Chain A
Amino acid sequence: MSEQTLAEREATVARMCLAPTPATEDLDTLGSPDRWQIYRRMVRARMHRVCETALKLSRAAYGEEAFTKLVDEWLAAEPPTTRFFRELPNQMARWALSDEGRLVEPAHLRDLLRYEDALWAVRAEDDRDLPEVVDFSFEGVPAFNPSSRFLPLEWGVDKRADDGSVEPLEGALLVYRTAGFTVPCMRLNPLAAAIVRELRDAQEAGRAVTEAVQRAAASEKRAVDQKFIESLSGLLEKLITRGIVRGCLK
C-alpha cells in the first residue's frame, strides 16, 4: 500500500509527466518506472501533436527540434490549465510570446505564431448567443463577429515565399471565419487597418461608427474626402458581406 496520500500521489504523477526529465525519486515512489514512463510519453505526445498540428508554419520556420524544445519548456514552466484540448496550442503560443527574448529568429517568427494562434482560435470561436444587432448605420455602435481577429503585424506572414521568407507588412491582417467554416485572411492597407482598429475600439467603448471613422482619418492624417469615402464604403461592404461586422448593437 502506498504511503502517499492520494493528492500527493497525483502530484507525483503530474511532476513525472511534465518535468523535462522525470525524477528518479518520483518514479521510485510510483513503482514500475517503465510503465509510468508510458504515461509520460502518452501525455506529452498528445500535447506535442496538437501544437505541431495547429502551429505547423511556426514549427517549420523555427525548426522541428527547436519547436519540440519550446513545447517541452512550456510544459515544464506553465503546463496547460485548460480542460479544452483544442485550446492547448493557444495557451502554448501565449506563453511563448510572453517573453520578448523567445523566438527572435527568424525575425518574422513571432508574427507567424500570432497569425497561426489567431487562425486556430477563430476556427473554434463561439459565435452563438450573441447580443441582438440592427442594420449597420453610421450612428450606431459597430458589432463585430467574435470569430475574427485583427492582427497589427510587422510582417506579411499570410503570404510566404517557397523558402518561407516573408515581406514586411504595411497595415494589418484580419482573419475571420466564413459561413462555410473556412478561415481566410484579409490584408488591410494602413488606412483600412486604422478604420478596423477604430471600429473594434468603438465597439468596446460604445462609440458610434462616425466617430470611429473620424478617429481613423485623423490618425492617418487623411481628409474625409470623396476618395476616403469610396475606400471606406468598399471596406465596410466587405466587412458586412463577409459577416465580420454583424451590424450595429441594438
Chain B
Amino acid sequence: MTKAPRGIGLGFRVGMAERFLEEAPEIVGWVEVHPENYIGRGGRYRDYLKRAMERWPVVTHGLSTCLGDTDPSDAEYLAQLRSFLGDVGTPWHSEHLCFGSVGGAALHDLLPLPFTEEAATLAARRLDEVRSAVDVELAFENVSYYAPQPTEMGDESGLEEATFCAEVLERTDAKILLDVNNVYVNSQNFGFDPRAFIDRIPPERVIQMHVAGHFVRDDGLRIDTHGSSVCEDVYDLLDYTLRHVGPVPVLLERDNDIPPLEELIAEVERLDAIYQRATAEAPRAAVAP
C-alpha cells in the first residue's frame, strides 16, 4: 500500500544512509530517491533502499528522463522505470523541465530550455508520453539556470520562466515539483521577484517542493550545488510558498559535502517549524494524487 508522504522529507543518499537508517529520526516524514541509482543495480544500494522502504514513504525523483530532450523517448528504460516505481510504491514521480541528452550522448547535467513555444510544446508532449509509460502521477521540476535563455514568453517583469512553467502546466494535467531554492537562485541571478514567480504558479498544481543550499561565487552568481545549508532567504521564500500552496510535502536535498546527521536533522527541524506554522494558516488542503 502506498504511504502518503507528509511534512518534511530528506533526499536519501548512500553517503549518509548507514547512520540515517540506524537512527531513523522521527522528524523525517519521508524520503526521496533517484531511480537511476537503483534500476539495474544490486549490492549495497538495493539493501539500503529496502531498509528505507520499511521505515518511510518513498517518493521518486528522476535525473535522466529530461522533459526537454529532443532525442526519442527510451521505451526500454521507461518500462524499467515503471516497474521500479511500482516496486517502491511511490505516490508520484517527478522529472526535470530541462534537457540532458543529445544525439544519444548523456550529459549528466540539467541543461536549461529556452522559454519558447517549441520547448513548451515538446515538454508537454514528453510529460504525456512519460506519464502514460510509467502509469503514475507525474510532475516536472523547475531547474536553476545560469545563462540567459531566448524567450517567446513575452513578459515585462522578468518572469519568462514562471510563464513558461505555467504554460507547460496549462497544456498538460501534470503537476509541478516546485524547487524553491531554484526559484530563489534564478531570481538573484536574473533579477526578478521570487514571490512574483511563486504567485504565478497555480497552487493546486504543486505536488511537492524542494529546498537546498547553493553556492555564491565571488562575482555574485549563485550556483545550485546542494552542497551547503539552506540560506535564510530560501527559508523565508519557503514560508511564503507554503502559505501560497498549502501543506505540500517539502524535501531537503543535500548531495555534496554532506554534513553529520545532526546538522541535517537540525535543518529538517527548522523546516518543520516553518512548515507547521505556515500551513496552519494556509488555505488549501494537501494535494492528493
Give A residues with C-beta under 8 Å from B.
1-2, 5-7, 9-11, 13-14, 17-18, 30-32, 35-36, 38-39, 42-43, 46-47, 79-86, 88, 123-128, 147, 177, 181
Would you give the shortest CB distance from A224 to chain B, in whole angstroms? 36
Q: Does B101 contact A (CB under 8 A)?
A: yes
- Contact among A30, A88, A128, A181 for B44, CB-based, below 8 A: A181
Cβ-defined contact, A6 with B223, below 8 A:
no
Q: Does B46 contact A (CB under 8 A)?
A: yes
Cβ-defined contact, A35 with B147, below 8 A:
yes
Q: Which residues of B contact A79 (CB under 8 A)?
A: 105-107
Cβ-defined contact, A39 with B105, below 8 A:
no
Cβ-defined contact, B146 with A6, below 8 A:
no
Report, as a range, how many residues of chain B touch the other chain.
35 or more
Chain A interface SS verdict (over half): helix
Give B residues with C-beta under 8 Å from A.
36-37, 39-47, 63-64, 68-70, 74, 77, 99, 101-109, 111, 113-114, 116, 118-119, 122, 146-148, 150-152, 221, 223
Q: Which residues of A contact B99 (CB under 8 A)?
A: 10, 13
Known: A46-B108, A85-B36. A6 touches B41 (CB 8 A): no
Bound complex: CA of A45 vs CA of B109, how far in Å?
A: 11
Known: A2-B114, A6-B116. A18 touches B105 (CB 8 A): yes
Known: A14-B103, A32-B147. A88 touches B46 (CB 8 A): no
Q: Which residues of A contact B39 (CB under 8 A)?
A: 84
Q: Which residues of A contact B103 (CB under 8 A)?
A: 11, 14
Cβ-defined contact, A127 with B42, below 8 A:
yes
Q: With CB as the reference atom, state the residue of chain B lying closest to A82.
A: B106
A-B pairs with lowest CB-CB distance, top 4: A35-B147, A14-B102, A83-B64, A2-B150
Cβ-defined contact, A86 with B41, below 8 A:
yes
Known: A13-B102, A84-B40, A127-B42. A6 touches B64 (CB 8 A): no
Cβ-defined contact, B43 with A147, below 8 A:
yes
Would you give the shortest CB distance from A240 to chain B, in whole angstroms? 19
Known: A13-B102, A83-B36, A83-B64. A43 touches B108 (CB 8 A): yes
- Contact among A11, A46, A127 for B102, CB-based, below 8 A: A11
Would you give the shortest CB distance from A4 to chain B, in whole angstroms? 9
Bound complex: CA of A80 vs CA of B109, how far in Å?
A: 12
Bound complex: CA of A32 vs CA of B70, how far in Å?
A: 23
